[in-house]
Chain A
Amino acid sequence: MSSLVGFSSLVLAIGINFYLFLSRYIFKFQKQKFNLFIRFSSLLTLLSFFSLMYAYVVSDFSIYNVFQNSHSNKPLIYKISGTWGNHEGSMLLWLSILSIFSFFFSFTKNIDESFQRLTLIIQSLLHILFGLFIVFTSNPFLVNSILVNEGLGLNPILQDPGLAVHPPILYVGYVGYSIVFSIAIAGLFQNTDDEWLYVAKKWSLISWTFLTGGIALGSYWAYYELGWGGWWFWDPVENISLMPWIAGLALVHSLMMVRGEQAIKKWIVFLSILCFSLSVFGTFLVRSGILTSVHSFTADASRGIFILLIFFIVTGFGFLVFLLKEPKKSNTLNLLFINKVSAIVINNILMIIATLTILLGTIYPIIIEVLYNKRISVGGPYFNSTVIPIMIPGFLLMSIAPILSWQTNKIQNSKKYAIGFIMLSILVLIQSYFSDFNTWGFVGLLLGFWIILASIIAIFSSYKVKFNIKFFQIINPHIAHIGVGIAIVGITCSSVFQNELDFNLNEGDKFNVNGKTVLFQEIENTNKINYQALRGKFIFDIEKNQSKKIEAGKNYYPVSKMITSEAGILHQWNKDIYFILGDQKNNEWFVKVLINPFVSFIWLGVAIMIYSGFIAVTRR
């Protein structure tokens, strides 16, 4: 039943969008009617998605997709998240989010009516393309030909609350760029005024903020679930999300500085198209299974070709319009040696170079395999030695950018900054002298703290401190940059100053971690509803009263015959102590302990960035 409802509402939604698309050329509508149809088709798409979710919740194994990916023993939350934990369901989620964006955009006021309509028609076109993709290659509503009463289970590694919400949030970010894309294309076609820039700014901020949240959740999940002690692996799927994120960052900054300059307008249109293209390209790479990664996705050539075609149509169409319809001539760019505009322009260029570098590293294995039939993989060393050096001058510029002036070369209060910078350099140098000196560590710490310090100086010397919403809106760019600075400090410390200790232990052994005694208490085996858990129990700092219990181990999921590792993490504000339980050999357990200093700063920094993303949306 739910399969019938889901499938027919999906087809009807695609039909309505088709009708709306034709309406531009054949039938004419009033605005009210047009918007009603858009909203109706959005609701139908959502209905389709929720009927699939309903099938998951009630474990309706007559639907092949549910049978393949769910199990009646699973906790409810993972039944729900199972809806998007598979290819077909996640594509339906993709389409639903696209619809939600169209839905909300149809309520936008104060914009030109025909412009709004054109934007929505481009959204309809995207809806048709992805809708047809789902219907023809990835239909989640196929009915099982035989009667079954139990499912095959969800990938156990996905049974994690962080990961249950990671894909939807990430998708809001990816798909949000569709509306920015549509706005930019509509802006090119109509070429009327600059009003669309302000509309685009809001939507691109929303997308970017969600993308940040999605990426952060994914990497937080990788940190405590994969059990490798790291939080970023330059995995192809991570790179795919990082590319639109950096391009989106460039877009947000360009939108901030636009004052009607023609060159920048052109650049904004380019970035808007690029962001969405990268999102679709990411979807293609992931869904075609063309890249191997920690994200296990099934490979299917026909799906791959279909999305590649969509990617080609969307990107080709976007850039072709860009080529043929240039934005109208207006003000020229006010570039000085060092003013706000030139700083942002340089930063934009750096960000695009970084994006292209990541793109090259990500698709290089495909090119090599096609040309030479060799399998290579491009990993951390390439990205670390290319992307990071490209970004460093950008970070340097970013630390001073908010204090630069729009019109002149002068820097206000330059003395304060100079003194601050010198003192900070000395402090960091002393710190490096007393710890193991590491060039990257030194550069990272100096940069991170400098960004934080410069932003704080800027806030206190340029504005009167007040505690109202308006004040927080004004200082928001500085707050965002403080977030970046904190994240840089966290990234530097956790990667450069990470410490690894290996032990072979018997139950009851005591060992030393970071000057504290740890007791390896016991190994415990328990049976949970859908898995068996093996846990090593540790007591940290056994000699003190406030000793902490840590559990690290593995889960075995009998239904899918998979083992996942569950790291035990002791969070402290200045470091994470990360326990990994290895295998048993000769009655001894292998235990790895990682000391990751200041990891919490990464999450704090990202949280601040997300906060200022939302604050920026509220500001016109």
Chain B
Amino acid sequence: MNRIIILTPLIILFIICIFSLTYLLSGKDPNKPPSALLYKDVPNFESSSLYNEKEIIKTRDIKNTKTLINFFASWCSPCKIEHPLFFEIGKKYPELYLLGFNHKDPTSDAKKYLEEDGNPYDFVGVDSDGLIALEFGVFGLPETYLINEDGKIIYKLMGPITTDILKNEIEPLL
């Protein structure tokens, strides 16, 4: 009995160290909280196209197809960095639906941005008041979500996509 009491601190030490080590090795960043929406249904949204106000996209439109949703804005410089990669993704996975949400941006700026850097998206939705981003729990731009055929979010990335992330984290899911 006495032995067990004396052993307790060592046991607690082991437990604390194992949890802390797992936490550190998992590459989690306390400034980037995990998404509460992961493995849940994609939130309901409705948005009009940047180029044609009458063209509307709704949640059910992206059912039955794998969709990559990307929140971007013309004022977001990391978005500019990841931008070219969406062309690569579009070329490599033609059946993947690329949906961009233009976040809190004047229409003219957004159009100019996509004119200069090109438009890789199959559809560009407008999220001028940021309500769609709010539904998705967007923390900061850019953010990218991968939705499977059943309409569940299977992957979420905060910050820009890099070639490494694309290769190691996104492509295995495609």
Which residues of A are interface residues toward B (Cβ below 8 A)? 270, 273-274, 277, 281, 284, 288-292, 299, 301, 304-305, 308, 311-312, 315-316, 319-320, 322-323, 363, 366-367, 369-370, 373-375
Contacts and interface: CB of A to CB of B under 8 A. Distances in A.
B22 to A, nearest CB: 5
Given A281-B16, A308-B24, A373-B38, 20 more contacts: A274-B9, A277-B13, A289-B30, A290-B24, A292-B31, A299-B31, A301-B24, A304-B24, A305-B24, A305-B25, A308-B21, A316-B13, A319-B13, A322-B6, A323-B7, A363-B20, A366-B20, A369-B23, A369-B28, A369-B34
A277 B29 CA distance: 25
Contact of B23 (A277, A281, A290): A290
A551 B166 CA distance: 53
Nearest to B6: A323
Contact of A370 (B7, B9, B26): B26
A291 B30 contact: yes
Contacts of B36: 374
B21 A305 contact: yes
B10 A301 contact: no
B17 interface: yes
Given A290-B23, A291-B30, A375-B34, A363 B16 contact: yes
A374 B40 CA distance: 14
B30 A299 contact: yes
A613 B16 CA distance: 32
Contacts of A284: 20
A312 B13 contact: yes
Main secondary structure of the interface of B (DSSP, over half): helix
Given A315-B13, A322-B6, A366 B31 contact: no
Interface of B: 6-7, 9-10, 13, 16-17, 19-31, 33-34, 36, 38
Contacts of B24: 288, 290, 301, 304-305, 308
28 contacts: A281-B16, A288-B20, A288-B24, A290-B20, A290-B23, A290-B24, A290-B30, A291-B30, A299-B29, A299-B31, A301-B27, A304-B20, A304-B24, A305-B21, A305-B24, A305-B25, A308-B20, A311-B17, A312-B17, A315-B13, A316-B13, A319-B13, A363-B19, A369-B23, A370-B23, A373-B38, A374-B36, A375-B34
A290 B27 CA distance: 11
Contacts of A312: 13, 17
A289 B34 CA distance: 16
A366 B23 contact: yes
Main secondary structure of the interface of A (DSSP, over half): helix
A281 B20 CA distance: 11
Contacts of A323: 6-7, 10
A272 B33 CA distance: 36
A593 B26 CA distance: 45
A291 B29 CA distance: 9
A304 B36 CA distance: 26
Nearest to A301: B24
Nearest to A367: B19
B77 to A, nearest CB: 15
A519 to B, nearest CB: 40
B6 A370 contact: no
A80 to B, nearest CB: 29
Contacts of A363: 16, 19-20
A319 B21 contact: no
Nearest to B27: A301
Contacts of B27: 301
B10 A316 contact: yes
A319 B9 contact: yes
A22 B13 CA distance: 28
A615 to B, nearest CB: 33
A375 B23 contact: no
Q: Which of B21, B22, B23, B28 has the most CB of A within 10 A?
A: B23
Contacts of B25: 301, 305
A241 to B, nearest CB: 18
Nearest to B10: A319
B30 A292 contact: yes
B153 to A, nearest CB: 13
A304 B24 CA distance: 7
A247 to B, nearest CB: 12
A320 B13 CA distance: 11
A300 to B, nearest CB: 10
B5 to A, nearest CB: 10
A311 B19 CA distance: 14
A292 B24 CA distance: 14
Contacts of B9: 270, 273-274, 315, 319, 322
A305 B25 CA distance: 8
Contacts of A288: 20, 24
Q: Which 10 A-B pairs have the closest CB atoms?
A: A375-B33, A292-B30, A319-B9, A304-B24, A370-B22, A373-B34, A319-B10, A301-B24, A312-B17, A315-B13
A375 B139 CA distance: 14
Contacts of B30: 289-292, 299
A193 B30 CA distance: 48
Contacts of B6: 322-323
B19 A308 contact: no
